[in-house]
């Protein structure tokens, strides 16, 4: 028999039915909660996967003929609202634009324009003497104005502009496709060779048949309407990047099949922000990347094929005009080497409510430092701004030194012309002018004031300065010329008294190129 104590312990160890019931109920509840949680998690995962298949709320169907950004904006209202803000006119210390009022005319209905670079620095008129840019050249405005500013620039009056200009000043994918019967390359070739007014009228006609109009850069230029994936639609870039890749040893490069997503985030911008020329009598728009994309490599290509944009009015030099080679200069910089694309800085991601979107208010990173710079650089905004402006200030300084040297060379050449020297006698000096001018213009026309690749910009400006001085030496070996007023004397005649005073700091907010008081 069990002892009384053993019996007592047995009774204590036994679970009463009520306790067992509680445990069973608790277990059931916990199991139910776990099951519910797992079910909810699986449903959430399933929903996210479904959302990933269709990452936007499809209000309207987009097709390959939908050119109007407002229609795209029904599916992408946040991006569209930001896109419309490219009308903003805000300048930074060294670039951008501010609204300058003007009286509209019948020929030019614009009531606001950007400030004139020619008025900021009249030396540009001498550099481009005889070319349309010496008549009208203004600070860049946002994408919203790119077609309007091209239509009404005075350059249209000075010299007939080719239809090829529309390639980068309008959304031309649909006109190219329709004019070319589905082949954008064919349509591109047809419209290139038309005079600008005829090409514009043809593009307008195409869009009117779709109950639309010709737009500045639009969604369809960079995005596939079905998948929203980035794509290249401008034929000149397709040809240009293929030529560059072939130079680099890659045959038959197809940018829309072979580029990575991060490359495409730079390439879609590079469709237009590049150096280019009009090839042959048909004015076929061509990116001169056959020998590389550095400034001197492009210059060597132009020399090799004997191309010139115009003949300099005051010296008869076979001159070149650089366009806007942002892609080429960026490619030589530290950001490109680090894999940072144009969109990372000019269209950085931002939060809109619970969504993360790409900022389609394309603008200078200096106007959006928190999103554009501080994502990678953990420094205060003022510090980052100061670093960028220091780079730009030093580039502006070098640019002004090179510009002065070019002005000296042009003055020497004019004097030599007045003295009766011939093209043949001055051929070396004229070639120096051509090269010095293009290299200087490469930095002048590029929108970052050297920031995209500071050391490369300095190298290019140094080359320009050297060509200008070599040109002066070539001229002065033929003819004795006096020292020019305000210019540095030649090395052989320089005296201490003739040394120029150091440049002084600006006393007020300067224009883009007057920033360091650099005329000396």
Q: Would you list the domain boundaries of the chain?
A: 67-96+116-379, 381-478
Dist. CA 293–CA 241, nearest whole Å: 10
User: What architecture does CATH give domain 67-96+116-379?
Assistant: Orthogonal Bundle (1.10)
Instruction: Reduce the secondary structure of 25-70 to three states and give it as a string.
Output: HHHHHHHHHHHHHHHHHHHHHHHHHHHHHCCCCCCCCCCCCCCCHH
User: What architecture does CATH give domain 381-478?
Assistant: Up-down Bundle (1.20)
Q: Exposed, middle or buried: residue 130 (CB in 10 Å: 0-12, 13-18, 19+)?
A: middle
Q: Exposed, middle or buried: residue 297 (CB in 10 Å: 0-12, 13-18, 19+)?
A: middle
The answer to whether the beta carbons of residues 93 and 515 sit under 8 Å apart is yes
Quote the pLDDT of residue 504.
Answer: 54
Dist. CA 252–CA 418, nearest whole Å: 52
The answer to whether the beta carbons of residues 79 and 137 sit under 8 Å apart is no
Quote the pLDDT of residue 145.
Answer: 96
Quote the pLDDT of residue 520.
Answer: 29
Quote the pLDDT of residue 480.
Answer: 87
Quote the pLDDT of residue 485.
Answer: 54
pLDDT along the chain (520 residues), means of 10: 52 69 85 88 77 71 97 96 95 90 93 95 98 94 95 91 96 98 98 96 98 97 96 98 98 97 98 97 96 97 97 98 97 97 97 89 96 96 97 97 97 96 96 98 97 98 97 94 59 56 52 44
Dist. CA 126–CA 519, nearest whole Å: 15
Quote the pLDDT of residue 490.
Answer: 46
Quote the pLDDT of residue 508.
Answer: 45
The answer to whether the beta carbons of residues 271 and 168 sit under 8 Å apart is yes
Quote the pLDDT of residue 518.
Answer: 38
Quote the pLDDT of residue 519.
Answer: 37
């Amino acid at each position: 028999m069990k002892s009384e104590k053993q019996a007592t312990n047995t009774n204590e160890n036994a679970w009463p039915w009520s306790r067992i019931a509680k445990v069973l109920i608790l277990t059931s509840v916990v199991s139910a909660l776990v099951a519910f949680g797992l079910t909810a998690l699986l449903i959430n995962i399933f929903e996210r996967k479904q959302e990933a298949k269709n990452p936007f709320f499809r209000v309207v169907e987009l097709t390959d003929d939908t050119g109007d950004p407002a229609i795209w904006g029904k599916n992408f209202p946040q991006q569209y609202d930001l896109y419309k803000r490219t009308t903003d006119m805000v300048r930074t210390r060294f670039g951008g634009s501010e609204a300058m009022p003007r009286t509209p005319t019948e020929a030019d209905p614009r009531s606001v324009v950007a400030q004139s670079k020619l008025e900021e620095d009249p030396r540009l008129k001498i550099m481009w003497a005889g070319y349309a840019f010496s008549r009208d050249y203004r600070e860049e405005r946002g994408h919203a104005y790119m077609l309007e500013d091209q239509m009404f620039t005075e350059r249209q009056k000075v010299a007939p502009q080719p239809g090829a200009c529309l390639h980068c000043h309008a959304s031309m994918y649909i006109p190219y496709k329709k004019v070319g019967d589905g082949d954008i390359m064919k349509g591109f070739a047809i419209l290139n060779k038309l005079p600008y007014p005829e090409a514009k009228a043809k593009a307008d006609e195409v869009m009117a048949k779709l109950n639309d109009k010709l737009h500045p850069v639009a969604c369809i230029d960079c995005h596939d309407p079905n998948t929203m994936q980035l794509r290249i639609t401008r034929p000149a870039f397709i040809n240009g990047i293929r030529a560059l890749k072939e130079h680099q040893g890659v045959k038959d490069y197809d940018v829309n099949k072979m580029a990575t997503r991060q490359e495409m985030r730079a390439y879609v911008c590079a469709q237009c922000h590049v150096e280019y020329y009009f090839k042959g009598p048909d004015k076929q728009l061509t990116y001169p990347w056959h020998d590389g994309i550095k400034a001197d490599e492009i210059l060597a290509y132009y020399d090799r094929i004997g191309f010139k944009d115009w003949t300099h009015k005051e010296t008869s030099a076979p001159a070149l005009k650089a366009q806007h080679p942002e892609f080429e200069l960026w490619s030589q910089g530290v950001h490109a080497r680090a894999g940072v694309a144009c969109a990372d800085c000019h269209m950085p991601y931002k939060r809109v409510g619970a969504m993360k979107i790409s900022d389609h208010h394309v603008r200078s990173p200096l106007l959006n430092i928190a999103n554009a710079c501080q994502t990678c650089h953990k420094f205060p905004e003022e510090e980052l701004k100061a670093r960028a402006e220091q780079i730009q200030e030093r580039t502006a300084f070098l640019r002004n030194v090179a510009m002065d040297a070019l002005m000296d060379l042009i003055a020497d050449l004019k004097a030599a012309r007045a003295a009766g020297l011939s093209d043949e006698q001055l051929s070396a000096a004229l070639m120096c002018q051509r090269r010095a001018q293009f290299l200087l213009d490469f930095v002048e026309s590029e929108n970052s004031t050297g920031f995209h690749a500071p050391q490369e910009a300095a190298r290019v400006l140094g080359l320009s300065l050297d060509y200008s001085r070599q040109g002066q030496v070539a001229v002065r070996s033929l003819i004795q010329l006096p020292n020019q007023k305000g210019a540095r004397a030649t090395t052989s005649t320089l005296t201490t008294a003739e040394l120029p005073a150091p440049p002084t700091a600006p006393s007020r907010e300067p224009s883009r190129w007057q920033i360091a008081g650099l005329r000396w």
